[in-house]
Amino acid sequence: MRSATYDLTTSTARADALFASSLQRSDQPTVAQVHGAIAAALAAFGIRGCAARVAQAYGDHPETAVQRMRWARATVTRAGVTHASDGVRAGSACGPGLRRAHLSYAA
């Protein structure tokens, strides 16, 4: 059975990557640190891996996952993470050996 295709936006993928990163709200990260954390998480896990980590966190600790995702989404928006330097681009392959998706990790 084939899995459903999800229409992820680049901001959603970036928020997932920030969520999956080791960066913490208490670090009071700079814009450069946010960009770096997103790029590092995408390099380590890929878009689908970041999404899987988000899903796992919601399953294991939903009360803290909600707070972390709110922070991640707000931080991505505030940091103006809208350019491709962090490794996310629309409309290409997800990475080596992965099926095509709406967003991808740019190697």
pLDDT of 26 above 60: yes
Q: pLDDT, tens digit, for every residue of 29-66? A: 999 999 999 999 999 999 999 999 999 999 999 999 99
pLDDT of 103 above 70: no
The answer for residues whose C-beta is within 8 angstroms of residue 17's C-beta and 6 or more apart is 37, 38, 41, 42, 45, 47, 50, 86, 88
Q: Position of tokens 């670090």?
A: 27
Greatest distance between any 2 Cα atoms in the chain: 44
Amino acid letter, 36: G
Pairing of strands 88-90, 103-105: antiparallel
Q: What is the pLDDT of residue 94?
A: 40
Question: What is the mean predicted confidence (pLDDT) over 57-76?
Answer: 95
The predicted model scores a pTM of 0.70
